[in-house]
């Protein structure tokens, strides 16, 4: 069974731009969670989607948004990029809302 | 007090010894507990999960859960240099939110 895939793997943007990251969960998984990880920091939870509905949201500004499609694929968008948004963005999928999560390889975003 | 706490380390263990990683949590109603390993520059990978009090073994790994004392541990027997990584503890709390610890950096010395 294919794992979680994320595209693109690497991205370089400049301040003020916006970016869209994509995540395809493991086949059959209906829950997708997004995390931000910066050097030396733990996983910072962004949001979780289950069956196209946002179930939980972390403490991030409204510039960070996401959505989930009917095929469980998910996208997250960051508008008006800031230097501090440079990070590894991880997507994780799980079978249900409360099951163990499996992570994709991540998208490394650099904001210049 | 953070909801899930881990010693940041680094924890240094000689090769072949037992590495013991600990995680405490504050929500007494927490239900599920997960251990992940993350190598530098890589994404976390699931090692094991535990729901019930007691021990759960998988190869060289043993998870121990004590709900009365609100801690969960991960033991790694016969530690290998390849076990050097950051170990993340995650707890599904009573609100069905998955809360992550900051991770413990483990170094296995040859």
pLDDT score of A70: 95
The answer to whether residue A105 neighbours chain B at the CB level (below 8 Å) is yes
Hey, is the C-beta of A58 within 8 angstroms of any chain B C-beta?
no
Nearest to B102 by CA among B84, B90, B85: B90
**Mind listing the pLDDT tens digit for each residue in B39-77?**
998 999 999 999 989 999 999 999 999 999 999 999 999
Candidates A43, A88, A100; nearest CB to B100: A43
Instruction: Please enumerate in sequence order all residues whose Cβ is within 8 A of that of B92, keeping only pairs 6 or more positions apart, or say none.
Output: A98, B30, B31, B32, B33, B34, B98, B99
Q: If you count residue pairs, one on A and one on B, with CB atoms under 8 Å apart, how many are there?
A: 37
- The per-residue pLDDT of chain B, averaged, comes to 95
Residue A44 has a pLDDT of: 92
The distance of Cα B81 from the centroid of its chain, to the nearest Å, equals 18
Residue, of A40 and A70, whose pLDDT is higher:
A70
What is the pLDDT at residue A96? 85
- Tokens for A108, please give them: 């490394």
Give me the DSSP letters along chain A: ----EEE-SEEEE-TT--EEEEEEPPTT--EEEEEEE-TT---EEEEEEETTEEEEE-S--TTEEEEE-TTS-EEEEE-S--GGG-EEEEEEEESSTTSPPEE---EEEEE-
Please name the residues between 19 and 38 in chain A that touch chain B, using a CB distance below 8 Å: 33
Calculate the alpha carbon distances from B95 to A1, A69, A99, B68 in Å. 31, 25, 14, 19
pLDDT tens-digit readout, B7-48: 989 999 999 999 999 999 999 999 999 999 999 989 999 999
B100 and chain A in contact, CB less than 8 A: yes
Which pLDDT does position B6 carry in this prediction?
Answer: 95
Average pLDDT over residues A28-56: 92
């Amino acid at each position: 069974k294919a794992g979680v895939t994320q595209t693109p793997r690497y991205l370089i943007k400049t301040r003020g731009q916006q970016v869209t990251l994509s995540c395809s969960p493991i086949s059959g998984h209906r829950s997708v969670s997004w995390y931000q990880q910066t050097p030396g920091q733990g996983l910072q939870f962004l949001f979780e989607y289950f069956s196209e509905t946002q179930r939980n949201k972390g403490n991030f500004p409204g510039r960070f948004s996401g959505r989930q499609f009917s095929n469980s694929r998910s996208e997250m968008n960051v508008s008006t990029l800031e230097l501090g948004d440079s990070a590894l963005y991880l997507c994780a999928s799980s079978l249900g809302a409360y099951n163990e999560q499996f992570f994709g390889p991540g998208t490394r975003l650099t904001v210049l | 007090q953070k909801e899930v706490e881990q010693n940041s380390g680094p924890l240094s263990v000689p090769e072949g010894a037992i590495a013991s990683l600990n995680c405490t949590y504050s929500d007494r109603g927490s239900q599920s507990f997960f251990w992940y390993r993350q190598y530098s520059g890589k994404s976390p990978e699931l090692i094991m999960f535990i729901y019930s009090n007691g021990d759960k073994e998988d190869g060289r790994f043993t998870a121990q859960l004590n709900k009365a004392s609100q801690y969960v541990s991960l033991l790694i027997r016969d530690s290998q240099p390849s076990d050097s990584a950051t170990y993340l503890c995650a707890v599904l709390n009573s609100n069905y939110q998955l809360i992550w610890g900051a991770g413990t950096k483990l170094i296995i010395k040859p």
